[in-house]
Structure 1
């Protein structure tokens, strides 16, 4: 059985859903990505519920009424005719019991879809940053996202780590694994050279692994989420100050 479980998990690590032929004693678990979501499938048991065919009830039959032979009527010289009495009571027909359907061994099967959070972007100074002055960016995504999920009686531990690509809107791109921080500790900084309105785009890529039945494997595929926030950068106001003349 351990060999079948190992085969199931090995197929999962190769981006192929595992379909073990025997998942009766322990559950078979598949974890993969699909349409930007994490999908967790579990199965345990010998197969779906199956109902045996129900035999049709026998058709009602009617027994023929068997009448005893009647002796020939004696020849009567008088005008009165003898009466012949026949039985009208029907024979009792007992119905056979209808066979009840029986169910085969059942199996447990479940499928869960987990959504990942979309990053919220912040920056400082938050109101009209100046050109040629560093702007600090950060997001609210933690360094590691962990989840414990119970499915078909098994506990699946999922651990996911994000990586980030910042598009500042002026053609400059910055890749990092850190979420950033406000001034003065943040390492995600960018200075704009010209004033204007920009769209800052943050692409978060998720990858990780899962642990089930003591086996740890990487989750195949990759999930990406996109966050966008506008920013307006202004030029510092310039003012001409005439020279001051001092006289004695």
Structure 2
């Protein structure tokens, strides 16, 4: 079962829960974590479309036709009847184009997904560090990530801060908010006592808050991203040099 932690923020108050009726006049923003992602949902309005009033088409009035008096035709004598020609062609009635019937909805709804980056790991010396010599570690994740996200006409300021959990592979864990740096400025250091192959595991734990119209609230829940990098630690070679003996009287 997926773990879902949600938080709703209504612009006028963060103490009241977000009901459907609350979102008719003001925007409701939901920010929560799910499956290692930050989900931002926004909704505003009643959800019923507002139809535009379409003005009726003007009715055309025909002008009165004044016919001139026609002199009576002379009567035709005989058995032949005058032919009456009737037209079978139907009159063409042209319809006036009506305005578009599209309606502007009063409700707005949107959903955005923010995927957090995984940290890249580096250490120095990068080739076969020695035992009993400090190794410097660092990652490429900034200490603060800020984003401006626009949703349903509102601007959401999201601020995220990571916490780093360094597992050096020999049972030692170091927790810090610093990203570290190479020698000699680096603050994240570890010394291995025994040679061997180790797996460095860096867990980046994200926490954050979001701000809308000057109102700030915490995003509940945490998101963990994991990065792994192997390291090989070697022992320094040992050489025994025989002592040099000098005889008296010789330079």
Q: TM-score range by the shorter chain?
A: 0.7 to 0.9
- Any gaps of 5 or more consecutive residues in structure 1? 12-17, 52-100
- Name 2:90's counterpart in structure 1: none
Cα distance change of structure 1 residues 102 and 150 upon mapping to structure 2, 3 Å threshold: closer
- Name 1:172's counterpart in structure 2: 172
Task: Determine whether 1:128 maps to 2:128.
Answer: yes
Cα distance change of structure 1 residues 126 and 36 upon mapping to structure 2, 3 Å threshold: same
How far the C-alpha of 1:6 sits from its partner, in A, is 4.1
- Name 2:89's counterpart in structure 1: none
Q: 1:24-173 residue pairs with structure 2 within 5 A? A: 24-49=24-49, 105-173=105-173
How many Å separate the matches in 1 of 2:29 and 2:137? 39
How far the C-alpha of 1:104 sits from its partner, in A, is 8.3
2:10/2:27 contact within 8 Å kept: no
Q: 1:197-236 residue pairs with structure 2 within 5 A? A: 197-236=197-236
- Name 2:238's counterpart in structure 1: 238
* RMSD of equivalent CA atoms: 3.3
Aligned length: 213
How far the C-alpha of 1:243 sits from its partner, in A, is 1.5
Cα distance change of structure 1 residues 244 and 105 upon mapping to structure 2, 3 Å threshold: closer
How many Å separate the matches in 2 of 1:191 and 1:247? 44
TM-score, structure 2 as length reference? 0.71
How many Å separate the matches in 1 of 2:195 and 2:175? 24
1:9/1:217 contact within 8 Å kept: no
Write out per-residue CA displacement over residues 190-228 of structure 1, whole angstroms, 9 at most, x where no aligned residue. Answer: 000110110000001011100012210000111110011
How many Å separate the matches in 1 of 2:201 and 2:102? 60
TM-score, structure 1 as length reference? 0.72
How many Å separate the matches in 2 of 1:235 and 1:197? 12
